[in-house]
Amino acid sequence: MTESKAENVGQSAYQKLLDDLPRTGPGSRGGEMLRRYWHPVCLSANLTDIPIAVRMLCEDLVVFRDGKGRPGLLGIHCPHRLASLEYGQVREDGLMCSYHGWRYDTQGRCIDQPLEPRDSDLKSKIRHLWYPVEEWGGVIWTYMGSEKENPPPLQKIDVLARTDGDVKLVDGDVRNYNYLNWMENFADMGHAVVLHGLQIRDVPEELKPYNDYSIKNWTPLPLEHVETEFGMKTVAVLDTGDPEVKFVNTWSMAMPIHWRFSGIRSGFPPDFTDERQEGGGMIRIIDDTHFELIRYNLFRNGNFPGPIVFGLPPGLKGTTEKKAHDKRPYSGWEGVPALEDLVLQESQGDIPERRLEHLGTSDRGVIMMRRIWHKSIEDVATGKDPKGVERKQNGMLEVDTFHGHVKVNELKIGPENMPSSRDGQGLIRDKEGKLVFGEPS
């Protein structure tokens, strides 16, 4: 069988995209795209008086505060004889290598070489690898792109900027696979019905009709994927056992590392209690096959009864019984959505062999996401800003999400309950109060 030339061209272009997509290192097309955005390095609270080794986008670095409290990010190996600056000493004006005392400021300038002759100009010839750092919202951020001398302003994150509740940041959930396995999960909403069952455990009898995945028109899922100025979102409006009540679920992604799920949450009938929390998180990309999740949530005073837990606590176990003959790494994993996601994402491979996939109609979100990533990679390759890069000062990433039950044409989810929404854009109702998908025109 012969293949047409056009097919060959198309396939090789797609293969090229699949090769580029998961790459995060310097000089790779994926990595160059990622370097056009600000990235989290660590939480402010964790950076005290000791330098911390940190691998970012395949580069081994050290983050520290100088004696004045100013954060800095340098290459980890001292340019003298390559000792690790992880063991360096914090000084008033920078970080001193413990081996022979060479000292660096936060911009990588070498400001002392105590063993060199007084009149040596060697230190003026040394400029160590450095990246600009900003501290905002409880997070140390860096920009690792070619514009590092004059980077675009740090884009603020709506949830972290809020003052009408308690913002909680949780780090430390490190995964051993490519960051896109995680991000694609947010474009792939169908998995929620199969993998998680969308079943809330211990739901009271009277609320079961609203949490009933036996309702036939949930499959295929009525999903809408919407490209946004910051990335994309997926919205599902699902029937419940009560024709008046819908279950709405929104997942959003902001290029290239932010996700939102369970933003403003409305609980069950009859009062549709507003749970008064908004949240999501971001990825610290370590390298092609490792990343760390940094979750952020805003908790406001409200009538949600709590307790609220989020994240993946260490040692988390599924709810199913582990059989003695089950030797799989995560046996007994079923029953906890966060653990279910981890198991299945990791099982795809540290960098999945995506050319072996067979995508179907339910993968429209994944396909949209790849188009968005592809466009961003191409934009960077041709000297343009990729999607979501904000050049204006004090830019704010505003992502609205909603999760929960709504009574058709009665409950209004207005801007007052969705403070992160910009001009009502993306609300789940139109101006007449009818449920809508995505952005009203």
Q: Which spans of this chain sit near ligand FES (rule: CB under 6 A)?
A: 78, 80-81, 83, 97, 99-102
Identify which of residues 34 and 110 has a Cβ nearer to ligand FES in the complex: 110
Q: Which does 278 bind (CB under 5 to 8 A by kind): ligand FES, Fe ion, none?
A: none
Task: Give, in order, the Cα–Cα distances in Å from 130 to each of 18, 66, 105, 143, 269.
Answer: 31, 14, 9, 10, 54
Identify which of residues 78 and 236 has a Cβ nearer to Fe ion in the complex: 236
Q: Which does 233 bind (CB under 5 to 8 A by kind): Fe ion, ligand FES, none?
A: none
Q: Which does 351 bind (CB under 5 to 8 A by kind): Fe ion, ligand FES, none?
A: none
Asked if residues 255 and 379 have their Cβ atoms less than 8 Å apart, the reply is no
Report, in Å, the least distance between residue 105 CB and Fe ion: 44
Report, in Å, the least distance between residue 59 CB and ligand FES: 18
Identify which of residues 62 and 298 has a Cβ nearer to ligand FES in the complex: 62
Report, in Å, the least distance between residue 305 CB and ligand FES: 56
Identify which of residues 105 and 292 has a Cβ nearer to ligand FES in the complex: 105
b (16+ CB within 10 A) / e for 222-258: ebbbbbbebbbbbbbbbebeeeebbbbbbbbbbbbbb
Report, in Å, the least distance between residue 84 CB and ligand FES: 9
Distance separating alpha carbons of residues 225 and 336, to the nearest angstrom: 26
Residues lying near Fe ion in the complex (CB under 5 A) are found at: 341
How many residues does the structure list for the chain?
441
Cis omega before residue 307 (within 30°)?
yes
Identify which of residues 153 and 349 has a Cβ nearer to Fe ion in the complex: 349
Distance separating alpha carbons of residues 243 and 329, to the nearest angstrom: 43
Beta-sheet pairing, 402-407 with 264-266:
parallel
Q: State the amino acid at position 50 in one-letter form.
A: I
Beta-sheet pairing, 402-407 with 396-397:
unpaired
Identify which of residues 86 and 275 has a Cβ nearer to ligand FES in the complex: 86
Identify which of residues 78 and 342 has a Cβ nearer to ligand FES in the complex: 78
Report, in Å, the least distance between residue 370 CB and ligand FES: 44
Report, in Å, the least distance between residue 200 CB and Fe ion: 14
Helical H segments across 36-184, by residue range: 158-161, 179-184
Report, in Å, the least distance between residue 77 CB and ligand FES: 8
Residue with smallest beta-carbon separation from Fe ion: 341
Identify which of residues 102 and 251 has a Cβ nearer to ligand FES in the complex: 102
Q: Which does 341 bind (CB under 5 to 8 A by kind): ligand FES, Fe ion, none?
A: Fe ion
Q: Which does 80 bind (CB under 5 to 8 A by kind): ligand FES, Fe ion, none?
A: ligand FES
- Two structure tokens written together for 175: 């995964």
Q: Which does 99 bind (CB under 5 to 8 A by kind): Fe ion, ligand FES, none?
A: ligand FES
Report, in Å, the least distance between residue 114 CB and ligand FES: 9
Q: Which does 371 bind (CB under 5 to 8 A by kind): ligand FES, Fe ion, none?
A: none
Distance separating alpha carbons of residues 391 and 387, to the nearest angstrom: 12
Report, in Å, the least distance between residue 57 CB and ligand FES: 24
Distance separating alpha carbons of residues 30 and 335, to the nearest angstrom: 35
With vertex at residue 85, the alpha carbon angle to CA 81 and CA 87, rounded to the nearest 5 degrees, is 110
Q: Which does 78 bind (CB under 5 to 8 A by kind): Fe ion, ligand FES, none?
A: ligand FES
Identify which of residues 344 and 435 has a Cβ nearer to Fe ion in the complex: 344
Backbone angles phi, psi at 181, to 5 degrees: -55, -40
Distance separating alpha carbons of residues 312 and 83, to the nearest angstrom: 35
Q: Which does 100 bind (CB under 5 to 8 A by kind): Fe ion, ligand FES, none?
A: ligand FES
Q: In a 3-state reduction of DSSP, which class is residue 261?
A: strand
For residue 62, give the DSSP letter: E
Distance separating alpha carbons of residues 49 and 91, to the nearest angstrom: 10
Return the closest-CA partner of residue 16 out of 383, 389, 381: 381
- Two structure tokens written together for 30: 């994926």
